[in-house]
Amino acid sequence: MTTIETVTLQSRGLSVWERFRRRKLALTGMVLITIALFGAIFAPWLTPYDPNTQMFDGLTIEGAPMAPSAQFLLGTDLLGRDLLTRILYGARTSLIIGLVANGVSLIIGTLVGVTAGYFQGFIGGLLMRLTDLMMAFPALLLAICLASIFQPSLWIVAMVIAIVNWVQTARVLYSETSSLAQREFIAAEKTLGASHPRILFRHILPHLVPMIIVWGTLGISTTVLLEATLSYLGVGVQPPTASWGNIIFENQTYFQAAPWLVFFPSLAIVMLALAFNLVGDAVREVLDPTLRGQD
């Protein structure tokens, strides 16, 4: 698709969905996400095995993991559990954390960014200094500290990721809100005697929705990756609950003899994160007003 074509199509007023649909990569991403969602939701019906049952016939006579076969499509792990089953259940962990953690961090980021941008002054300054402070922490290291302080469970891991991830959203929404707050229509509203909540919810927030959607979509891939890394390091989701990160951690001792044990879950992580990145990038190009007219 050439630039000129895009511009004329846009000026004819194509809907956001139409513009989104033209991006093949984004559609590929959507398909991958749908597959992951489908696998996660219908996991119990898709596989005859239980994710945590160590099967009698799941290990070779020497006690090593079994290679992929008709019985175990992706082979078995070091404890004789079906790998495909664990990957399917691991998708639940990844998606739950991806959505919950990202949702919470989006809410925190929006609250901080919008409050600071709209009220400025002392509160705004304080909130933005806090944001600067958070920027000085390496996100992964802080998450590791937090996760090892609290006994990690699915929800704790989600909250830890939310706590270290809101900063970017807050900064973007802060600058957007502070420029909106100086526009004439907001001044007009104030003159008419509108209350702060009314201005915030009826006039400022609707302008920020595209930005929030963009950062929300892009953030899911960050949270999925962070969860996988924390679980890999042992401070995320704890075994026996399956998570793609801890599947790799558990099986890496067999890495040389049975590389598929690391390869398949890795592929799952990369594909899901890639899918959200592709969709997020397309959403950004379609919705971000500052990028309109570019390619």
Partner 1 sequence: MVDFLTRRLMQSALILLGVSLITFALLYLLPADPVRQIAGRSATPQTVANIREQLGLDQPFIVQYWRYLLNLLQADLGRSYLQKTEVTSLISARIPASLLLMAGAIFCELVIGLTMGILAALRRGSTMDNSLMIASFVGVSAPQFVVGLLLLYVFAVQLNWFPIGGYGTLAHLVLPSMTLAILGSGWYSRMMRSSMIEVLRQDFIRTAHAKGLSKMRVLLRHALPNAILPIIAMIGIDVGIFMGGIVVVESVFGWPGIGQLAWQAIQRVDIPIIMGVTLVSACAIVIGNLVADIASLFADPRIKIR
Residues of this chain that interact with partner 1 (CB under 8 A) are 2, 25, 129, 132-133, 135-142, 144-146, 148-151, 221, 225, 228-229, 232-235, 245, 248, 252, 255-256, 259, 262, 266, 269-270, 273-274, 277-278, 281
Q: Smallest distance from the beta carbon of 132 to partner 1, in angstroms?
A: 6
* Cβ distance to partner 1 smaller for residue 176 or 227: 227
Tokens at 78, concatenated: 């070091």
Q: Smallest distance from the beta carbon of 232 to partner 1, in angstroms?
A: 5
Q: Smallest distance from the beta carbon of 185 to partner 1, in angstroms?
A: 29
Q: Smallest distance from the beta carbon of 117 to partner 1, in angstroms?
A: 19
Report the alpha-carbon angle 158-143-262, nearest 5: 75
Contact 220, 98 (CB under 8 A): yes
Q: What is Dmax (Cα atoms) for the chain?
A: 82
Q: Smallest distance from the beta carbon of 70 to partner 1, in angstroms?
A: 26
* Cβ distance to partner 1 smaller for residue 72 or 276: 276
**SS3 readout for the chain:** CCHHHHHHHHHCCCCHHHHHHCCHHHHHHHHHHHHHHHHHHCHHHHCCCCCCCCCHHHECCCCCECCCCCCCCCCECCCCCEHHHHHHHHHHHHHHHHHHHHHHHHHHHHHHHHHHHHHCHHHHHHHHHHHHHHHCCCHHHHHHHHHHHCCCCHHHHHHHHHHHHCHHHHHHHHHHHHHHHCCHHHHHHHHCCCCHHHHHHHHHHHHHHHHHHHHHHHHHHHHHHHHHHHHHHCCCCCCCCCCHHHHHHHHHHHCCCCCHHHHHHHHHHHHHHHHHHHHHHHHHHHHCHHHCCCC
Q: Smallest distance from the beta carbon of 252 to partner 1, in angstroms?
A: 7
Q: Smallest distance from the beta carbon of 186 to partner 1, in angstroms?
A: 25
* Cβ distance to partner 1 smaller for residue 204 or 281: 281
* Cβ distance to partner 1 smaller for residue 186 or 269: 269
Q: How far apart are CA 272 and CA 59, in angstroms?
A: 29
* Cβ distance to partner 1 smaller for residue 43 or 248: 248
* Cβ distance to partner 1 smaller for residue 148 or 238: 148
Q: Smallest distance from the beta carbon of 103 to partner 1, in angstroms?
A: 20
* Cβ distance to partner 1 smaller for residue 47 or 168: 168
* Cβ distance to partner 1 smaller for residue 177 or 222: 222
The amino acid at residue 107 is I
